[in-house]
Chains A and B, each alone.
Chain A
């Protein structure tokens, strides 16, 4: 359990570090932050960030999955699910 928690944080932090340059309003990033409504990031930029995550973790995240995630937490969870699947 502590392991997963640790890893969870790493993915969360990685995503936050990729989002920070686009966080123009200086919103505090939490698992509940909504990418589109809170951060006002357009859908293509979200896809581009996901591409960085894919290359970072060497996994593929389908566009379909991304359109179903709204918050940072949901994106973190989706990456964990895929990591497990592709491991």
Chain B
């Protein structure tokens, strides 16, 4: 028995992908040419598989703010938020996020992953509290539950009634109940009925946390997220997010109207035992936030790009599981077909993501396209042309395939 035996099967699959073509899980951006273009295998490629939803990676004021902070405050904080890694920039960004969201408190963590770990493990006591999570929640929410050690119960995806039943069955001796859902789910691009979840959770005396990693800056009248679009920003208990997507930096946060969220600063190990985001990443996140607040047209552009792509794919008869969203996925019956189609698109100069079970909600594999407000008309044309050719080559990608 060796330490490595258990990896054999996954490793075989991994290398099989590399042998059959470019492996989706080790793509290298050899040179980044702009917010939506990079060289991959020496070829200029349209990036439709990043999370640069609002195109902020090359926003001049975010770059300038990052450069200025780098020169003024140095390359790194060399410490955790709890000990020696809290700078004025972290506090200022916390205040700005809270202000943007209309919530009273915000705590910044090193990444979105760490923010969710920190929120869950920091808030929940395994001896008396219970966690209830949507079955399709992101890996970091599952990992947070595991780190907390608390009893964790899954409910059916986007199904408030399934949550209602599970809350109803809990023993009255359970003290705290924390429900975790997401705003927009990143595999299908489907959104949660947050208002219904608020109602069910509160009816049972449970707290509701919403991870808006993929919806921050994008949904709702002010871009505050799906919770805003659902009209319940002031009713949800905890809001978690990341700087790595619409703000194109690195870092994460937990925001709340409960002043007790400040307790995370001493109760949460993922806050206390990892280095804080560097001055440059904090400054560029703050500048990107200012920029997206001042320019709602970025959000509008993202949505018009998303609608255009969704309409084009629908017309092609592709099997799309959700209405227009910043993520548009196409389902394939097998991972072999998804992999071949992924390679095909890359050869057409379009980079998207491939996801296969168990990382996908159902038993299918999918190609996942992430739209950006920075996608130009030429980018969109190239994407549509590549998908058109792909739809002709891969009949299994079309819902109407059997009818034709």
Asked if chains A and B come from one complex, the reply is yes
CA of A51 to CA of B153, assembled, Å: 10
Q: Mark B121-155, 1 if CB is under 8 A from A, else 0.
A: 00000000000000100000010010000011110
CB pair B151 A62 closer than 8 Å: yes
- 20 contacting pairs across A/B (C-beta < 8 A): A42-B357, A42-B358, A44-B357, A44-B358, A45-B357, A45-B358, A48-B135, A51-B156, A54-B166, A55-B165, A58-B165, A59-B169, A60-B153, A60-B166, A61-B153, A62-B151, A63-B145, A63-B153, A63-B154, A86-B171
Q: Which residue of B lies closest to A48 (CB)?
A: B135
A62 contacts across to B, CB distance below 8 A: 151-153
Q: In the complex, A51→B142 CA distance in Å? A: 16
B32 contacts the other chain (CB 8 A)? no
Cβ of B20 under 8 Å from chain A: no
Instruction: Determine if A86 and B358 form an interchain contact, defined as CB atoms under 8 angstroms apart.
Output: no
**What's the nearest-Cβ distance from chain B to residue A42, in Å?**
4
Q: A42-B357, A45-B358, A64-B151 are in contact. List 16 more A-B contacts (CB 8 A).
A: A44-B358, A51-B135, A51-B154, A51-B156, A55-B162, A55-B165, A58-B169, A59-B169, A60-B153, A60-B166, A60-B169, A62-B152, A63-B142, A63-B152, A63-B153, A86-B171
8 residue pairs, one from A and one from B, having the closest CB atoms:
A44-B358, A42-B358, A63-B152, A62-B151, A60-B153, A60-B169, A60-B166, A62-B153
Chain A contact-residue range equals 10 to 19
Chain A nearest CB from B160 CB (Å) reads 15
Is A19 an interface residue when CB atoms closer than 8 A count as contact? Answer: no
Closest beta carbon of chain B to A70's beta carbon, Å: 14
Q: Which B residues are in CB contact (< 8 Å) with A48?
A: 135
Q: Which chain A residues lie closer than 8 Å to B358 at the CB level?
A: 42-45
A47 in contact (CB, < 8 A) = yes
Say if the beta carbon of B401 comes within 8 Å of chain A: no
Residue among B142, B151, B154 with most chain A CB within 10 A? B154
Please tell me if B33 contacts chain A, counting CB pairs below 8 Å.
no
Fill in one digit per residue for A56-79: 1 if any B CB lies within 8 Å of its CB, else 0.
001111111000000000000000
Per DSSP, are chain B's interface residues mostly helix, strand or loop, or mixed?
mixed
Contact assessment for A60 and B170 in the assembled complex, using a CB-CB cutoff below 8 Å: yes
Contacts of B156 in A (CB 8 A): 51
Question: How far, in whole Å, are A32 and B402 apart by their CA atoms in the complex?
Answer: 42
In this complex, how many residues of chain B approach chain A with their Cβ under 8 Å: the count is 16
Known: A42-B358, A48-B135, A51-B135. A64 touches B152 (CB 8 A): yes
Please indicate the chain A residues that have their CB under 8 angstroms from the CB of B151 in the complex.
62, 64
One digit per residue, 1 when the CB lies within 8 angstroms of any chain A CB and 0 when it does not, for chain B 52-75 equals: 000000000000000000000000
- Chain A residue nearest to B130 in the complex (CB): A62
Tell me the bound Cα distance from A61 to B200 in angstroms.
20
Nearest chain B CB to A11's CB is how many angstroms away? 18
Interface centre among B151, B153, B170 (most CB of A within 10 A): B153
CA distance in complex: A64, B147 (Å): 11
Q: Which residues of B sit under 8 angstroms from A55, Cβ to Cβ?
A: 162, 165
Closest to A41 in B: B358
CA distance A16 to B291 in the complex (A): 56
Residues from 152 to 179 in B contacting A, C-beta threshold 8 Å: 152-154, 156, 162, 165-166, 169-171
Q: Which residue of B lies closest to A47 (CB)?
A: B154
Assess the A47–B152 pair: CB atoms within 8 A.
Answer: no
In the complex, what distance in Å separates the CA atom of A51 from the CA atom of B159? 13
Beta-carbon contact of A86 and B357 below 8 Å: no
Give A79 to B162 CA distance when docked, in angstroms. Answer: 19
The answer for the CA separation of A56 and B151 in the assembled complex, in Å, is 21
A45 nearest CB neighbor, chain B only: B358
Chain A minimum-CB-distance residue to B166:
A60
Contact call B169/A86, Cβ cutoff below 8 A: yes
Rounded to whole Å, the gap between the CB of A85 and the closest CB of chain B is 8
Quick one: closest B residue to A63, CB to CB?
B152
Residues of A within 8 A of B166 (CB): 54, 60
Residues on A with beta carbons closer than 8 Å to the beta carbon of B152: 62-64
From A42, A43, A55, A64, residue with most partner B Cβ within 10 Å: A64
Interface positions, chain A 9-52, Cβ under 8 Å from B, are 42-45, 47-48, 51
**Nearest chain-A residue to B145 (Cβ)?**
A63
Question: Which residues on the A side are within 8 Å of B145 (C-beta)?
Answer: 63
Which residue in chain B gives the minimum CB-CB distance to A42? Answer: B358
Kindly list chain B residues whose C-beta atoms are within 8 Å of the C-beta of A43.
Answer: 358
Select from chain A the residue with minimum beta-carbon distance to B357: A42
